[in-house]
Amino acid sequence: MGPFAPWEKELIRLTSGGLPLVECPYRELSKAVGVSEQIVMERLREWVDQGIIRRMGALVNHRAVGIRANGMSVWNVPDREVDAVAKVLCERSEVTHCYRRPRRPGWPYNLFAMVHGTSEDQVRELVAELAQEAGAPDYAVLFSNREYKKTAPRYFDKGEDK
40 found inside a domain? yes
Expressed as residue numbers, the domain containing 16 is: 6-50
Number of independent structural domains in the chain: 2
Instruction: For residues 25 and 78, state if they share a domain.
Output: no
156 found inside a domain? no
CA proximity to 140, closest of 92, 85, 96, 75:
75
Chunked mean pLDDT (size 10), the chain, 162 residues:
86 87 94 97 94 79 81 97 98 95 97 96 97 98 87 74 48
Instruction: For residues 134 and 81, state if they share a domain.
Output: yes
| CATH at residue 116 | 3.30.70.3460
pTM: 0.70
Instruction: For residues 73 and 10, state if they share a domain.
Output: no
**The sheet that has 139-143: what strands, in order across it?**
95-100, 111-117, 69-75, 139-143
